[in-house]
Amino acid sequence: MLGYVNRYLGTASVIRALKKDYDTGYKRVNVVAQLKILQKRIELSRYMLEIGATALLAACLSMFLIFAEQQRGGEIAFGMSLIAMILSLFLSFYETSLSNKSLQIEIEDVYKQEAHKPKETK
């Protein structure tokens, strides 16, 4: 859960930096493409957190039910916990691929800028 929160905060920080750059007139290539990816990442992070929290609650419920000698209920709650955590991890993998796509846009921008710089002579 801490990792998910950190990813969310990191994405939010990047969005704020892009907004600040935009407000000050700093020109960036593909700002719209970056913001679309970041918007999707924020949405995915929210789902990851919600599903991860559900998984944690279900795991706690399963422990309580086992403690209360409700073995079958504990097994069902634990199974639900595992399913929720697996779903959350799949969302995490997808969010990471979007993060990589966003970084690729930044790298391509640097390459384009470098290609247009005049060559230095020695």
Is residue 46 predicted with pLDDT exceeding 80?
yes
Distance (Å, rounded) from C-alpha 93 to C-alpha 41?
11
The pLDDT tens digits for 73-120 are: 999 999 999 999 999 999 999 988 888 887 787 778 778 777 777 776
Nearest to 102 by CA among 25, 54, 44, 23: 44
Q: Identify the pLDDT of residue 120.
A: 66
Distance (Å, rounded) from C-alpha 55 to C-alpha 47?
12
Q: Which residues lie closer than 8 Å to 21 by C-beta, 6 or more apart?
A: 28
Is residue 29 predicted with pLDDT exceeding 60?
yes
Q: Identify the pLDDT of residue 121.
A: 58
Distance (Å, rounded) from C-alpha 36 to C-alpha 4?
20
Average the pLDDT over 2-26 and give the result: 78
Q: In which residue are the tokens 């000050």 written?
A: 24
Q: In which residue are the tokens 């990442």 written?
A: 41
- The full set of domain ranges for the chain reads 2-107
**Does the model's pTM come out above 0.85?**
no
Average pLDDT over all residues of the chain: 85
Q: In which residue are the tokens 């979007």 written?
A: 98
